[in-house]
Amino acid sequence: MSKRSDLMTKGPERAPHRSLLRADGFTDWELERPMIGIANSFNEIIPGHMHLDKLVDAVKAGIYAAGGTPLVFNTIGICDGIAMNHDGMKYSLPSRELIADTVETMAVAHPFDGLVLLASCDKIIPGMLIAAARLNIPAIFLSGGPMLPGKVQGKDTGLDKVFEAVGRFKSGKISEEELDTFECAACPGAGSCSGMFTANTMSNLSEALGMSLPFNGSAPAVFSERIWLAKETGYKAVELVKKDLKPRDIMTADAFHNAIAADMALGGSTNTALHIPALAYYAGLDLTLRDLDPFTAKVPHLTSIAPAGPHHVVDLFYAGGIPAILAELNKARLIKTNPPTVYGKSVGDMLTDINAGVKDYTVIRSIEKPVHRGGGLAILSGNLAPDGAIVKQAAVSEEMLTHAGPARIFNSEEDVFEAIMDAQIKKGEVIVVRYEGPKGGPGMREMLSPTSALAGMGMDKQVALITDGRFSGASRGAAIGHVSPEAAAGGPIAALRDGDIIEIDIPQKRLNVQLTEDEIRKRIAALPEFEPKVKSGYLARYAQMVSSADTGAVFER
């Protein structure tokens, strides 16, 4: 049986190639085995990645045990929390395509037979999965696992509460010493931040998609289960090569159905509305923001995990993780049981094999008694968002589910954050932050600092915030993002002026401005031509190539 790696290991003409591999220390028997590339995003900056060097050793052990040869290479990773609220955040979403490119480049230049994709955080996870979809060679994903929550005054807490503490300090609700307590206690060690933010949402959805093993998304970074998973992931990688089971065999339309259903049940990050369509796009499937809408009504919200509730991802692990979520949804036939998985069995057979079920109904609610009858996310549309917008409705207070108020316009995150910190925002206003989309930003920055400051000041129940940019998975309140088309593409959000009345109706999934279509067209026609904010380097190239958020901020074909 021929292998991809034969291109660098077989025949007399490959003697120079083997000579270089021998320089790495590889022996005859190692060169004869399936060669598994390990895409490792270890670095010493991101808490979710600082321990991946240890997990790599466990993955390598699993590969060797299954009869394969591991070869480790690295790619980049950005910590969204550290990049937040400055120009660094412009690079976070664009790094997704860079990561996919680097994995693709390494896997073609060195023709591996299979891949293990190792990452924990935000854009790195979808970047790795996009690479798998594009390459379509046997691949399996392993997360570094969630961080445990910290403790402040005896209560579990996470990074979201540190951002909110800034607003509370600024408004005089806590002292500088109390702010320091949050800073020093909220993030106790390795792992992706402890709530159902983007990183942990994507790790969990990789399971629902069939691309990672059970409990990949919920077993904490510091638990021995994470080492077990790493060894088993390495072992499965070799099995996938022997079976020739490829990512596009797994990431089918039915698999994306399961991922979206699980997302709604989890009340996951709104950023999944970027990454799921993008991953489908690169896998050759058509999926847009609007395609998520039917799920928001029929799939119930089953968990209350931070920032939407009191629990953290470790609680989800103890309650049964994604297998329990899928099993509960399957009671109402809300998932597809036929798709294959990297586990080696179909979704349905896997759930039976591991005896999946809810272990704590206070964390994962039953399908009969959900947290909310509808999903944790909602897709909005209207004359302000013809191609859609998204809100984490599970994290919106009841009094803000419907709201109408005058627009307060800002053309950058810096301007709105300064206005919030200087107490310039009035009760009832609808804050509009535009020209922060994929093209306009460029890079579509997460805006956790403004939403957290509002929440910390207690204003998340008094004002709404809409943007053509995006929010962190840790954001809460009436924070509506991904407004499409974006301002830089001539979307209606560019036509808004201070004082225009914006109407938000989350239960009815509407986002409108009290303007006629004719007035909107006239205002857009009168706008000057959009001037790019960045004119050189990667961001300038990115802005020229990227689509609006409704299709996942992808590089268009």
Report the catalytic residues: 472
B/e letters for 416-433, b = 16+ CB within 10 Å, e = fewer, are bbeebbeeebeeebbbbb
β-strands 69-74, 35-40 pairing = parallel
Q: Which helix (H) or strand (E) holds 442?
A: none
Of 254, 259, 264, nearest in space to 336 by CA: 254
Do the beta carbons of residue 282 and residue 251 sit within 8 Å? no
Torsional sign, CA 80, 83, 89, 92: negative
Torsional sign, CA 83, 85, 90, 94: positive
Do the beta carbons of residue 469 and residue 481 sit within 8 Å? yes
Query: Could you tell me how many residues make up the chain?
Result: 557
DSSP labels for 313-378? HHHHHHHTHHHHHHHHHHTTT-S-S--B-TTSSBHHHHHHHTT---S-TTTB--TTS-SBSS-S-E
For residue 12, count other CB atoms closer than 10 A to its CB: 6
Task: Give the Cα-Cα-Cα angle 393, 147, 48 (nearest 5 degrees).
Answer: 100
- Quote the longest CA-to-CA distance of the chain: 76
Residue 321 to residue 341: CA distance in whole angstroms: 16
Q: Which helix (H) or strand (E) holds 390?
A: strand 385-391
The DSSP letter of residue 550 is: G
